[in-house]
Structure 1
């Protein structure tokens, strides 16, 4: 065997390992949890790893006394079948929460390393994650030092021709300044490579992609560090103290702390050059300051980024999904309470791809599901051990166009787990939700200034059942502005208690409390629920007209032969889809005709809700898309119009009409007048004479819905079956669930107008 043979075999082994690599990235953070009775320090370590499969990696002590593990909890955060192309498209992110008893508060280091990264353009092989821990008591807070909390999606992708900025989550609970940098030396990293085509702004922890000529997966080995805003000392139980110590040379500050103007290019479809050009090779004054100060903590932040094939357009909202309301803003801080479910919603739109997935990285037990309205609901319930901690949650939506996968921007929020503020409970049964809120937990708010989504119905008055100690609401599932939502497995009925200044106001700038609650019912059950979203016909008795009934139904086509099944409500439609409606008066009295004086659209089934969108007003067509299909002077009114949506967060729309039954052929009736300009005066005494002669009935209101507007880019319209075969046995798992969500709105603004109309 020649001397070169072992070297060759070694190289072949490395190539083999790299081609079968499975590591996508990993992170770590730690939180001091107090002292034990024996004087040791209790610390929680949270570390995430992402592999081709759901795997868990252990850490070992590198330097110092790292203590002993007393408990660890493991679980899967998220997984996907849309990973790297080639060897394996699967990836899975897991998290381990390990509790350690540490004998001393002196600094130590933890390490995790193994082989191998997934195949990367920048040739990473083994991975190496290092964490530096210092539990010294800070002179500025009087508490042990805490690490920053970090998060990133383990696998992100960007089209080769699209510039994009990724704001990496790095938040420090102690208020320290956080910086992100490339790893420079082992064991911070393997190759310690700084991929070309990318720029890392260290102060803002922002990674910017410009352009690279080589598509494929790039591995990033970053380090997150925190620095105090002022001179502090760290005190230890052995009597020693330390300050963040100076170093003599600038060993890692290679890039400017402020973003330099991006280079120009001669490339015809990318603004950045195809060759690598450093933005700057100088060292700033701020860098010199940081280079002479040692960090309090050091954490790994490793992840994979796929530079994908080019896309016809980089404009968000076309191929690349664009976030819309009610998606939280990047960096937004959310408040959560122990044992109370936190919920926030993510929604994205794209005209040339179908948004059908969300990727989430967050704490253990976080869940997400997609509703039939195209929103993604992310939920997490903190436990008692989470009190006082901060948790980052990052998310990206994905759209499909053929075999191509396109991702939105990445957004991250920080969740602070605090003490319980509002004490309340929700009880769900077959037809209603009952919510009880302890008055003592809602300070400074009188029950006279609290209401439900739609308080117009007397059954929705919160003062009706409230007592000296509790605010009590008994809310029917189909009233009080209750909104209906569903996913593949559950039906969800939602409402909220909010403050108001004046009952007639639609906006307020003193919105101090928002208590959201809902009941969740499994679709598959053994009891039929006595509720339907479909609105029943209305039966009326009037002198001279006897007993008659108004019916309001939707139809499939303008032929009015196939009525929409009542079990299919709420009806899912797309914007600009034609809707066909028929209002019929069924009466035993001959020689009568129906007149539709007005029709309006509102987000709630309430004819007095204001403002609404007018469709027909005073017998006149207001909406330009309305088409009338029935002749005058009969007991059917058949019409159609294009579907629309209200601007804002309202997910459903009801159509409510004011109708009159008249004596046919009588020129003195309102039916005979037809379209009347609202500014035209009516003959004096007209109303009095027609009522005496029983020529027409009083006005009656009839409604139908709800309609739920889906995005027009979706390929089909699906009517979800809402006949509601629902289990209502409380003992059955996931059959009934009442949930409270509280938001402190003291400094916020709640705005609920419906004054604009979007076609």
Structure 2
């Protein structure tokens, strides 16, 4: 009798976890050398945490040399599982990994089975001399939009090989339009009540070489690849929550709006090892009771709130040196009367860890107007080198304020520029 009861309870638990899936993001790259493929994944669930099982769908996937994952509580009682699996492949190969045995939570667009394929092309590239690394991206496991407001979301991308990155639907979602540059647009339909609900969004992200290349396999065969053909593919999947109508689509009323000093979407930020980076995020939602921040960032990044500002705090370590990381954030607000949760737009920045970050604020004086398009960094670098900075420093113009020009006694103008070193 007890054995029978245990068997049934175990079966129910498995079924509960199986229909628990709410999104996944995968990427792959080198681990130590080309003999090891590192597959990174983030899997989201709405109830219990998921222990994923990856199957080798085709090709030679090699041997699992190491595997580990960590789980953390998510929103609304959900869970996020972040993991890394390292495959020993010994040389150039191709294979496809499949996420096995999971089912989506109940969604309006009637998607049931979780189909998430990662296609790895690990042949040696003629342009880089190395195996291909996939693009990397990030997205929260839930994005919310009111049913009557248009909203655009552009997925951030980093590709260490310098490839072109494009997105396409795995299964079309009727409420979203997608462009190849990975920008999704929610356009309200005439039948608003039909649009409300949860939608499973399933995208495929691919990388394309910017020129024709050859790929060398394990037998030494060189196979040509045209620039219009994809190298690999990764899955990007999440939940889109289409919420009830909002009285006003103007940001800053019911929908949170970002204010300075919040970074702009796509900004490049720099950090250095053992130096704490703070990203300040300022928002307003006049008809909300409270706001809280949702973010995706590197391990160790935390959020805080002080003096009316949200901010993200991260201190890079030695292993982060030279790496670029996505940091994406959303602010959600709770309406005072309806108690409906509303999301801001999603913003993403890229943080690159460099040996030293120096920010210079220079007030420039010139007898003629200066413009960003004609700003001469070469002359400034030469002057800085003469003052003792290393000759191999690389400068990047972070900002240049053309509007604050003021007249000087000599008849010239003064303007402010902010400079920082780019990735060495």
Task: Choose the corresponding residue for 1:367, options 302, 326, 331.
Answer: 302
8 Å contact kept, 1:150–1:392 = yes
Task: Choose the corresponding residue for 1:313, options 235, 239, 248.
Answer: 248
In the alignment, which residue of structure 2 is the partner of 1:208?
A: 185
In the alignment, which residue of structure 1 is the partner of 2:118?
A: 131
Report deviation, 1:498.
5.1
1:554-597 deviation digits (Å, cap 9, x = unpaired): xxxxxxxxxxxxxxxxxxxxxxxxxxxxxxxxxxxxxxxxxxxx
Report deviation, 1:73.
4.5
Q: TM-score, normalised by structure 2?
A: 0.77
Q: Which has the higher strand share?
A: 2
Please state whether the residue corresponding to 2:116 is helix, strand or coil. Answer: strand
Aligned CA distance change for structure 1 residues 34 and 176 (closer, same or farther; 3 Å): same
In the alignment, which residue of structure 2 is the partner of 1:578?
A: none
The within-5 A match list for 1:300-379 is 300-372=235-307, 374-379=308-313
Computing the radius of gyration over CA atoms, which structure comes out larger, 1 or 2?
A: 1
Report deviation, 1:360.
1.0
Partner Cα separation in structure 2 for residue 76 and residue 20 of structure 1: 17
Partner Cα separation in structure 1 for residue 63 and residue 18 of structure 2: 34
- Indicate the larger mover: 105-114 or 328-337: 328-337
- Whether 2:135 is the aligned partner of 1:199: answer no
- Unaligned 5+ residue runs, structure 2? 1-10, 365-374, 382-393, 407-424
Report deviation, 1:318.
0.7
Give the structure, 1 or 2, with the largest relative contact order (CA under 8 Å, sep 6 or more): 2
Partner Cα separation in structure 1 for residue 89 and residue 271 of structure 2: 29
8 Å contact kept, 1:17–1:115 = no
Task: Choose the corresponding residue for 2:64, options 58, 69, 87.
Answer: 69
- Indicate the larger mover: 207-216 or 218-227: 207-216
Report deviation, 1:244.
2.6
In the alignment, which residue of structure 1 is the partner of 2:411?
A: none
8 Å contact kept, 1:24–1:154 = yes
- Whether 2:399 is the aligned partner of 1:749: answer yes
Task: Choose the corresponding residue for 1:108, options 78, 85, 95.
Answer: 95
1:29-70 deviation digits (Å, cap 9, x = unpaired): 0121342xxxx6133221000012343423232222223333
Partner Cα separation in structure 2 for residue 341 and residue 41 of structure 1: 35
Please state whether the residue corresponding to 1:151 is helix, strand or coil. Answer: coil
What is the total number of aligned residue pairs between the two structures?
367
- Whether 2:304 is the aligned partner of 1:407: answer no
8 Å contact kept, 1:45–1:98 = yes
Report deviation, 1:78.
6.5
Aligned CA distance change for structure 1 residues 499 and 390 (closer, same or farther; 3 Å): closer
8 Å contact kept, 1:56–1:96 = no
Partner Cα separation in structure 1 for residue 320 and residue 44 of structure 2: 23
Report deviation, 1:317.
0.9
8 Å contact kept, 2:18–2:102 = no
Report deviation, 1:153.
1.2
Report deviation, 1:239.
1.3
- Whether 2:41 is the aligned partner of 1:47: answer yes
Stretches (4+) displaced over 4 A: 16-20, 497-502, 509-513, 750-753
8 Å contact kept, 1:95–1:363 = no
- Unaligned 5+ residue runs, structure 1? 1-12, 82-89, 184-191, 246-288, 423-441, 443-496, 503-508, 514-743
8 Å contact kept, 2:55–2:100 = no
The within-5 A match list for 1:693-704 is none
Task: Choose the corresponding residue for 1:238, options 219, 235, 238.
Answer: 219
1:363-404 deviation digits (Å, cap 9, x = unpaired): 3332111223x2222133444444444322221100111311
In the alignment, which residue of structure 2 is the partner of 1:30?
A: 28
1:721-745 deviation digits (Å, cap 9, x = unpaired): xxxxxxxxxxxxxxxxxxxxxxx87
Aligned CA distance change for structure 1 residues 121 and 358 (closer, same or farther; 3 Å): same
The within-5 A match list for 1:619-630 is none
Report deviation, 1:237.
4.8
8 Å contact kept, 2:18–2:101 = no
Q: TM-score, normalised by structure 1?
A: 0.44
Partner Cα separation in structure 1 for residue 163 and residue 18 of structure 2: 40
